[in-house]
Amino acid sequence: MAWTDLVSGCFGFGTAPFASNRPDEDVAKGAIAAAQAEGATKAEFAQMIAMYPRKYIKSDQLLRERIREDAARLDKLWKVSPAY
């Protein structure tokens, strides 16, 4: 399964933030490890997770805040994921 197929599981449900609880974080670590194994960059992964909340959040201000929070979690997880 491609890493892009794993991204939706990192959100738990439609409007949930990226990797906001332990089960979602575990899925995110697996998706990140798969992305790294396939040679994807953190920027490519960030772009993919930024697309997901756009389906549900219509407010530009809320969307920017959400993407910023999701990107911060990605930064943290991306650094630790090779040991996963």
Binning pLDDT at 50, 70 and 90, where does residue 31 land?
A: very high
* CA angle 18–21–27, rounded 5-degree value: 65
> Does residue 83 register a pLDDT over 80?
no
Return d(Cα 31, Cα 10) in angstroms, integer.
8
Assign 11 to helix, strand or coil: coil
Region 69-84 average pLDDT: 83
Q: What is the pLDDT of residues 44-64, one digit of tens each?
A: 999 999 998 888 899 999 999
